[in-house]
Amino acid sequence: MGKGAALREAAEKGDGRRIRELLKAGVFRADPNEADSEGNAPLHLAAARMDWALDDEATRDALRALVDAGASLEARNKRGQTPLLAAAEDGSFGAAMELLALGADPNAKGPTGESALIAVSRRGGSVAAKRLLERGADARERSGEPLRAAAREGNEFVIDELLKAGANPNDAGSESGWKTALMEAAERGNLKSLERLLAAGADTEKGDARGLRALHAAAEGGKAEAARLLLKAGADPNARDSAGKTALHAAALGKSALTVEVLLGAGAELEARDNAKRTPLRCAAGVGGVEALGVLLEAGADLDALDERLETPESAARSAREKEAEAALVRERERRERRKREEIEGGAEELLRQQGELIERMREEIEGLRERVARLEAAVPEGEELGEPGPRIRRSRAG
Statement to judge: residues 192 and 297 lie in one domain: no
Query: For residue 391, is pLDDT > 60?
Result: no
26 vs 102, residue with greater confidence: 102
- 129 inside domain: yes
Statement to judge: residues 80 and 31 lie in one domain: yes
Q: How many other C-beta atoms can be found within 10 angstroms of the C-beta atom of residue 356?
A: 10
- Cβ neighbourhood burial of 278 (10 Å; 0-12, 13-18, 19+): buried
Give how many domains the chain has, as a whole number.
3
Model confidence pLDDT, tens digit, residues 126-181: 999 999 999 999 999 999 999 999 999 999 999 999 999 999 999 997 777 889 99
What is the residue range of 204's domain?
138-209
Model confidence pLDDT, tens digit, residues 297-321: 999 999 999 999 999 999 999 999 9
**Domain termination residue (choose one: 134, 167, 197):** 134
Statement to judge: residues 219 and 352 lie in one domain: yes
Question: In CATH, what number is assigned to the domain containing residue 184?
Answer: 1.25.40.20
The contacts of residue 394 (CB under 8 Å, 6+ apart) are 380, 383, 384, 385
Statement to judge: residues 224 and 344 lie in one domain: yes
Contact between residue 237 and residue 246 where contact means Cβ atoms under 8 Å apart: yes
pLDDT-based confidence at residue 27 (cuts at 50, 70, 90)? very low
Statement to judge: residues 233 and 245 lie in one domain: yes
Model confidence pLDDT, tens digit, residues 245-257: 999 999 999 999 9
